[in-house]
Amino acid sequence: MTKIACIGEAMIELAMTQGAGRDFAAVGVAGDTLNTAIYMHRSAPDIQVDYITRVGDDPFSDKIRSFIAANGVGTQRIGRVRNASPGLYAITTNEYGERAFTYWRNASPARTLFAGGDFSALDGYDALYISGITMAILPHAVRLQLIQWLHDSNSVLIYDSNYRPNLWDSRNNAQMVTRAMWARADVALPSIDDEMLLFDEEAHETEARFAAFQGRGALKRGAEGPMSLGEPVTQTYPPASDVIDTTAAGDSFNGAYVAAVLAGASQAEALMRAHEMAALVVQHSGAIVPL
């Protein structure tokens, strides 16, 4: 059985709604690499998918662990931090249906992942899935240590740059870390909008840069469909019939793609499965589509 670890931050999500003249908040759990882990497990249940993070010792941390386990993802390497609480974000929607996010995550215990340069939690996995959000929340010294550890590791590295400017201490550090991760990655799953923003490029420049990628993967381009990395693929990707919410479109694409690759699917089949998963997800509200 293939063993893969998805690494990052799981947060408590408050989705604000109105009814009977009052505001209500639905409490959920979400996070980019966690979303990917869940869709990966759903797409290939025979693959062992674990989640690596740190949570606190409060009831909301218990909710996160229970949610992850209930979705079939392993929790044995989730660390606990005493007297700490997980990150939190709230979703509000305006009169036009546009969503806005407010975050409280500066004291998240996930930011203490790999403190002291201890990467033993990553031992024993065939593959590791990391995103730019994972890298952004770590202290810069720990990022550099992790890059060196990955350089010395034989695990397959799967990376999505998932660039969020407000999380990074500087754009220079974001660029440097991202370049280093692309140089090490075996599977690349970037989004064209993120890469254009991070490196101040036009779309054709980003496409040309990833056309030279030596591994395999996909450059996600939304409704246009993915650009195959590693080998040429020519096929048509049907658009979603009704887009309700684009939350986790990229995360679900990544989960389905990685699951297909690890299960031995061809590149064309993996890309189609991933696109179809993302097209399904955007037709539902929220990050995780009900089974």
State the catalytic residues: 251
Which residues are within 8 A (CB) of 166 and not within 5 positions of it... i.e. 6 or more apart? Answer: none
Residue at 4: amino acid letter:
I
C-alpha to C-alpha distance for 40 and 36, rounded to whole angstroms: 6
The tokens for 216 are: 């395999």
Q: Are 277 and 258 in contact (CB under 8 A)?
A: no
Contacts of 95-101 with CB under 8 Å at 24 or more apart are 99/245, 99/247
Which residues are within 8 A (CB) of 188 and not within 5 positions of it... i.e. 6 or more apart? Answer: 159, 182, 210, 213, 215, 216, 217, 218, 219, 229
Q: Are 250 and 282 in contact (CB under 8 A)?
A: no
C-alpha to C-alpha distance for 279 and 238, rounded to whole angstroms: 8
Q: Which residues pair with 288 in a beta bridge?
A: none
27-to-15, 56, 254, 256 alpha-carbon distances in Å: 7, 17, 25, 26
